[in-house]
């Protein structure tokens, strides 16, 4: 029986692209009845065995082992998260960027930060300064950062090259240009885009379901619904500091095991903060997220 990749899940059907099957259309499949009995749900990104049926459709008979499994968005086998955050319209939101990074670190994915819409910054000096500040901050932590503009084409080829051979999740703040960047990388794709609501400062959600978009270089991109907020229900407060990767080398030297890095004496994370080795904005967001998680824990 052939192997394939689930590229879309919709209304109880799984659309499977046969591995090595060329440019043909995905096969519309149902899952085996036993999956439901066992509580197994095939996901977009799953590599599967399927059995063609007489009506030109098929049945997914086996799900091959996954290397990763995301809950939101529901995608299997993604290795790379591409976070798109705009420099303008909506304005750069470092707190939300750090919140996304916490979730991605918790899932164990690699991260590529794309700073979009550079062309919308009117003052070139302001544009250069903001771009430099944000890029240098996250590169110093160890993240890969690419500056892009769908309007001018800046960074498009660089991003496309990074996506080769990977299943990638595209995500980020609503209205930052995810669909525009994908359209720029794949002329003719024609994903729906929407204008920014100036009153709200955020975009309308234009992506309705998770679907893998095939790239010519062997990569697949999961264009996922935009988020305007995230919660921390899947993450324990004691795991939070592990998701701030620049804390790691200092946290191991803290005086107390399980140090919260908030008020304990001998905390090396706060010492590094005082010495300018950890960015004030990152520590401030850590404290905000810690309090948010504690508050949610009390309520639930």
Listed in sequence order, the residues at least 6 apart from 37 whose beta carbon sits closer than 8 Å to its beta carbon are none
Q: Which of 142-156, 202-216, 264-278 has the lowest mean pLDDT?
A: 202-216
- Residues annotated within the binding site are 116-119, 172-180, 254, 259, 261, 267
- Residues annotated within the binding site for Zn(2+) are 254, 259, 261, 267
| Short-list 116, 121, 153, CA closest to 135 | 116
Average pLDDT over residues 251-273: 96
Pairing assessment for the beta strands 47-52 and 58-63 based on DSSP bridges: antiparallel
Tens of pLDDT, residue by residue over 85-109, are 887 777 788 999 999 999 889 888 9
Tens of pLDDT, residue by residue over 211-224, are 898 888 889 998 66
**Residue 177 DSSP label:** S
**Residue 87 DSSP label:** S
Homologous superfamily (CATH) for 237-299: Probable gtpase engc; domain 3 (1.10.40.50)
| Angstrom distance (rounded) from CA 194 to CA 176 | 10
Model pLDDT, residue 152: 79
Query: Does residue 17 register a pLDDT over 70?
Result: yes
Model pLDDT, residue 181: 78
Homologous superfamily (CATH) for 3-63: Nucleic acid-binding proteins (2.40.50.140)
| Short-list 111, 117, 114, 133, CA closest to 245 | 111
Q: Is the pTM above the cut of 0.75? A: yes
The reply to whether domains 3-63 and 237-299 share a CATH topology is no
Taking the domains of the chain in order of start, what are their residue ranges? 3-63, 80-223, 237-299
- Residues annotated within the binding site for GTP are 116-119, 172-180
Model pLDDT, residue 123: 61
What are phi and psi for residue 125, nearest 5 degrees? -65, -45
* Range 211-239 burial, b when 16+ CB lie within 10 A, else e: bbbebeeebbbbbbebbeeeebeebebee
Average pLDDT over residues 165-170: 90
- With beta carbons less than 8 A apart as the criterion, state whether 215 and 185 touch: yes
Model pLDDT, residue 136: 96
Q: Is 8 helix (H, G, I), strand (E, B) or coil?
A: strand
Average pLDDT over residues 192-201: 36
Q: Which of 61-75, 157-171, 214-228, 229-243 has the lowest mean pLDDT?
A: 214-228
Tens of pLDDT, residue by residue over 70-90, are 877 789 999 999 998 887 777
Structure tokens belonging to residue 174 = 């609503």
Model pLDDT, residue 282: 98
Model pLDDT, residue 198: 30
| Angstrom distance (rounded) from CA 287 to CA 240 | 10
Query: Does residue 200 register a pLDDT over 70?
Result: no
| Angstrom distance (rounded) from CA 293 to CA 11 | 34
pLDDT exceeding 90 applies to what percent of the chain?
Answer: 49
Planar angle of CA 66, 69, 75, nearest 5 degrees = 105
Average pLDDT in the chain: 84
- Of 16-20, 168-172, 225-229, 264-268, the range with the highest mean pLDDT is 264-268
Model pLDDT, residue 279: 97
**CATH top-level class of 80-223:** alpha beta
Query: Does residue 240 register a pLDDT over 50?
Result: yes
| Short-list 212, 218, 217, 223, CA closest to 26 | 212
Planar angle of CA 44, 46, 48, nearest 5 degrees = 130
Average pLDDT over residues 143-165: 88
DSSP for 130-147 reads HHHHHHHHHHHHT-EEEE
């Amino acid at each position: 029986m052939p192997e394939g990749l689930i590229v879309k899940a919709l209304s109880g059907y799984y659309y499977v692209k046969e591995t090595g099957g060329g440019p043909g259309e995905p096969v519309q499949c149902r899952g085996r009845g036993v999956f439901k009995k066992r509580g197994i749900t095939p996901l977009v990104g799953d590599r599967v065995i399927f059995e063609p049926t007489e009506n030109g459709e098929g049945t997914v008979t086996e799900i091959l082992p996954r290397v990763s499994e995301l809950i939101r968005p529901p995608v299997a086998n993604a290795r790379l998260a591409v976070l798109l955050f705009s420099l303008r319209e909506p304005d750069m939101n470092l707190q939300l960027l750090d919140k996304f990074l916490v979730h991605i670190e918790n899932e164990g994915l690699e991260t590529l930060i794309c700073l979009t819409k550079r062309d919308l910054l009117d003052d070139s000096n302001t544009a250069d300064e903001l771009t430099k500040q944000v890029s240098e901050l996250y590169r110093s932590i160890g993240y890969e950062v690419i500056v892009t503009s769908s309007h001018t084409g800046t960074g498009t080829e660089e991003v496309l090259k990074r996506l080769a051979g990977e299943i990638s999740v595209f995500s980020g703040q609503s209205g930052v240009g995810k669909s525009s960047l994908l359209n720029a990388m794949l002329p003719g794709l024609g994903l729906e885009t929407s204008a920014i609501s100036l009153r709200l400062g955020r975009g309308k959600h234009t992506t309705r379901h998770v679907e893998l978009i095939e790239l010519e270089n062997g990569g697949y991109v999961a264009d996922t619904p935009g988020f305007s907020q995230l919660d921390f229900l899947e993450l324990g407060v004691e795991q939070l500091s592990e998701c701030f990767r620049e804390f790691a080398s200092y946290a191991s030297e803290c005086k107390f095991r399980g140090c919260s890095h908030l008020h304990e004496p001998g905390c090396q994370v706060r010492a590094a903060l005082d010495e300018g080795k950890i960015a004030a904005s990152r520590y401030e967001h850590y404290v905000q997220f810690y309090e948010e998680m504690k508050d949610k824990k009390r309520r639930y």
